[in-house]
Amino acid sequence: MNKILLYFILFLSSNVFADQDKTINLIVENCKSCHNLNKQVTKKIPDMNNLEKEEFIRLMTKYKNDKDNSVMNRISRVFTDNDILKIADKIYGKK
Amino acid sequence: MEKNRSGRRKFISNTITTLAFLFLANTFLLKRLNSKTRPKIVIVGLGIGGATCLQYLNKISNFVDIIVIEKQNVYQTGPLSNLVIGNILQRKDICFKINKKKYKNVKFIFENVKRIDVENKSVVFSKNLKVKFDFLILSPGISYKNDILKGYNVSDKKNIPHCWDGESNITQFKKRLRDLENNSKIIITSPDYPYRCPPAPYERATLIANYQRKLNKKVKILILDSKNSFTKQENYFREWQINFRDEIEWIPRSKGGKVIFYDQKKNLVKNSDGQIFKGDFIHIIPEQKAASIFFDSELLNDGKDWCEINPISFEINRFKDIYAVGDSIDAWAMPKSAFSANSQAKILAINLINKILEKDYIDPVFLNTCYSFSKEDRAFSISAWYRLNMTKDKIISLGSSESNVYANDNDRKLEAQHAIGWYETMVNDLFM
Ligand SMILES: Cc1cc2nc3c(=O)[nH]c(=O)nc-3n(C[C@H](O)[C@H](O)[C@H](O)COP(=O)(O)OP(=O)(O)OC[C@H]3O[C@@H](n4cnc5c(N)ncnc54)[C@H](O)[C@@H]3O)c2cc1C
């Protein structure tokens, strides 16, 4: 395999966001660009306010693994499963 | 139902907690700070970058003085402005006045800033009035290069307005477009990188074609490009092939797309090979550089067109306590877009708060998603996450990806909805 490609895949598969809590906070701040996390301001983007944490994790994992090239697939495909759990913790709280 | 509500309550409380990690937990520190001095933060430019900084800094407005300076009373957004040109939206749909009630402790001044007096840490207005700052945030957007295209003067009112900022006369642009006769030829010149919103010239061409067709007019649109490729190119080609095969033609630089001369009276442009193109509607999108305030205040490094910053704090290189964000900065891999400006400004504000509280900076993470429309119910996008390189002196992309070129009608429709949804969320957060 092309060496550069291999490095690139390694780069992507090792946790791209360094898995730090503060980084997760910033990822969530970026989610808010489309999803207002306090109230529903648009009907054109799925509202995350009424989701349960488990449902959020299920949906994010589905977006990440689907190969449909939707905007959420493209945004979530850089996350590890652990990133998704941490994002969920951040948004919906630790159980 | 009950389950949902409890989920929602938890959700909201956790969102507040997220902010609390930055703000409430620091109340003690802030109070201490308050008792000594109240830092004065001045924000120049209340567009996307400035308004985002304001939104975040407002959370500590009990402890710092915030002054916002903007030259226009009403802000007209770049995003969705092509839908106004394409007669899908009205101008009022993209114009906003800041909701001052949301920002009770903030002082707003609607004046043009002439320059920054770096030595005296003050902002100078046209009448030589001054406002002092401890920390200054500049998000004034772009200005235009006047020396690239011979014969073209950006401020000449007889030109077709370029409509590349909120001050341009979009109504006049539309009137002149509406007045075109059947079989007219439209020429759009697309600038060289870097410029504000890379896909927007092609979105504009597409939505003009869509509009003219609705007016039952046949037009030919020629895009003369200073570049050999452009963002989301394959998606655009596909949309043109499906919907506007006869209307739109793209000429890259290598095939004579680079325009070097404009004659307004004769309605023509000339390319670098001396070839002449005549048009009934010549729309020049000018080459761009950082807003004039950077040049007038000598805030740029020699020969640079864009402001160089530290990618963690957004402090301008060589200028302590002066920060810049949005389209006016060189953001390495990040494109100049509202989404980028919004994402960058969040980091700037969070790390400025960290600085004021004498806490460590957080390493940034940025996101950009840029939507383009080809019709009212068809859109596609490009997105990427960004972070710092290993030496933490550059913003790098984690790899951008676009909508599927062969996306079906439903997917295009869904992206059109998402585009509007993103916009509604953003303007609601920032201005309403
Ligand atoms: C046709 C078009 C379509 C676009 N579509 C999209 C899109 O779909 N998605 C997207 O993400 N981005 C889009 N953009 C890009 C987007 O508009 C910009 O990237 C964004 O506005 C940048 O924010 P900013 O804060 O840097 O500048 P701006 O939003 O332009 O704000 C600058 C503000 O500073 C003020 N100002 C400037 N100088 C002074 C001064 N001297 N004194 C006082 N005030 C001053 C201005 O009046 C203005 O209000 C589009 C742009 C265009 C032109």
* Cβ count within 10 A of residue B346: 24
Q: Given the CA of residue B336, which atom of ligand 1 is nearest to it? A: 19
A57 touches chain B (CB under 8 A): no
Tokens of B171: 């109504």
For residue B309, which amino acid is it?
I
Smallest Cβ–Cβ distance between B365 and the set A30, A35, A91 belongs to A30
CB A92 within 8 A of CB A86: no
Residues B377, B123: Cα–Cα separation, whole Å: 45
CB B398 within 8 A of CB A74: no
Of B358, B363, B357, B376, which is closest to residue B419 (Cα–Cα)?
B376
Q: Which residue has the tokens 């740029």?
A: B300
Q: What are phi and psi of B142, to 5 degrees?
A: -120, 170
Pairs across A and B, CB distance < 8 A: 129
Distance B341 CA to ligand 1 centre (A): 9
Residues B299, B306: Cα–Cα separation, whole Å: 10
Residue B187 Cα distances to B177, B312, B398, angstroms: 12, 41, 36
For residue B287, which amino acid is it?
E
Of A57, A47, A52, A53, which is closest to residue A84 (Cα–Cα)?
A57
pLDDT score recorded for residue B239: 98
Residues B343, B386: Cα–Cα separation, whole Å: 10
pLDDT score recorded for residue B27: 60
Chain B residue nearest residue A67, CA to CA: B404
Which is it for the CA torsion A84, A90, A93, B4, positive or negative? negative
ipTM: 0.89
A74 touches chain B (CB under 8 A): yes
Tokens of B396: 């790098």
Peptide bond into B194 cis (omega under 30): yes
pLDDT score recorded for residue B128: 77
Distance A9 CA to ligand 1 centre (A): 36
Q: Given its phi and psi angles, is residue B309 left (phi above 0), alpha (psi -120 to 50 degrees) or beta?
A: beta
Return per-residue pLDDT of chain B as tens, 432 residues.
333 444 444 444 444 444 444 554 556 555 555 555 799 999 999 999 999 999 999 999 999 999 999 999 999 999 999 999 999 999 999 999 999 999 999 999 999 999 999 999 999 998 778 999 999 999 999 999 998 999 999 999 999 999 999 998 999 999 999 999 999 999 999 999 999 999 999 999 999 999 999 999 999 999 999 999 999 999 999 999 999 999 999 999 999 999 999 999 999 999 999 999 999 999 999 999 999 999 999 999 999 999 999 999 999 999 999 999 999 999 999 999 999 999 999 999 999 999 999 999 999 999 999 999 999 999 999 999 999 999 999 999 999 999 999 999 999 999 999 999 999 999 999 999
Residues B331, B288: Cα–Cα separation, whole Å: 15
Best of A13, A17, A28, A30 to disrupt the B interface (most B CBs within 10 Å) is: A30
- The class (CATH top level) of B145-288 is alpha beta
What's the gap in Å between the CA of A82 and the closest CA on chain B?
Answer: 17
CB B386 within 8 A of CB B365: yes
From chain A residues 14-43, the ones with a CB under 8 A of any chain B CB are: 16-18, 20, 22-23, 25-30, 32-38, 41-43
Sequence-separated (6 or more) residues with CB below 8 Å from residue A20:
B363
User: Could you give the count of Cα atoms lying within 13 Å of B190 in the half-sphere of its Cβ?
Assistant: 28
Q: Decide if B428 and A36 are in contact by the 8 Å CB cutoff.
A: yes
Q: Decide if B426 and A69 are in contact by the 8 Å CB cutoff.
A: no
Mean pLDDT over all residues of chain B?
Answer: 93
Q: Which residue has the tokens 């990440």?
A: A64
pLDDT score recorded for residue B34: 55
Best of A11, A31, A38, A42 to disrupt the B interface (most B CBs within 10 Å) is: A42
Fold match between B2-141+291-363 and B145-288?
yes
Residues A30, A1: Cα–Cα separation, whole Å: 34
Q: B378-388 and B401-402: which strand pairing?
A: antiparallel
Chain B residue nearest residue A74, CA to CA: B401
- Protein residues with CB under 6 Å of any ligand 1 atom: B 44-50, 69-72, 75, 78-79, 81-82, 112-113, 139-141, 164-166, 196-197, 200, 291, 293, 326-328, 336-339, 341, 370-371
The residues that bridge with A23 in the sheet, in sequence order, are: none
Does this model's pTM top 0.90? My answer is yes
Distance B73 CA to ligand 1 centre (A): 14
Smallest Cβ–Cβ distance between B339 and the set A33, A43, A50 belongs to A33
Sequence-separated (6 or more) residues with CB below 8 Å from residue A9:
none
- Going by alpha carbons, the residue nearest to atom 30 of ligand 1 is B141
pLDDT score recorded for residue B20: 47
Chain A residue nearest residue B367, CA to CA: A30
Sheet holding B322-324, edge to edge: B106-110, B65-70, B40-44, B135-138, B322-324
Chain B residue nearest residue A44, CA to CA: B421
Task: Count Cβ atoms within 10 A of the Cβ of residue A61 and give its class: 0-12 exposed, 13-18 middle, 19 or more buried.
Answer: middle
Q: What is the 8-class DSSP label of residue B364?
A: P
Q: Where does the pLDDT of residue A50 fall: very low under 50, low under 70, confident under 90, or very high at 90 and above?
A: confident
Task: Count Cβ atoms within 10 A of the Cβ of residue B51 and give its class: 0-12 exposed, 13-18 middle, 19 or more buried.
Answer: buried
Domain boundaries, chain B: 2-141+291-363, 145-288
Q: Where does the pLDDT of residue A53 fall: very low under 50, low under 70, confident under 90, or very high at 90 and above?
A: very high
Question: Residues of chain B with pLDDT > 70: what percent?
Answer: 92
**Chain A environment of B20 (Cβ under 8 Å):** none
Distance B193 CA to ligand 1 centre (A): 17
Distance B198 CA to ligand 1 centre (A): 13
Domains in chain A with CATH codes: 2-92 (1.10.760.10)
pLDDT score recorded for residue A90: 94
A1 touches chain B (CB under 8 A): no
| Topology of the domain covering B2-141+291-363 | FAD/NAD(P)-binding domain (3.50.50)
Residues A28, A35: Cα–Cα separation, whole Å: 10
**Chain A environment of B385 (Cβ under 8 Å):** 16, 75, 78
Q: Decide if A22 and B362 are in contact by the 8 Å CB cutoff.
A: yes
What's the gap in Å between the CA of B421 and the closest CA on chain A?
Answer: 5
Tokens of B359: 């806490």
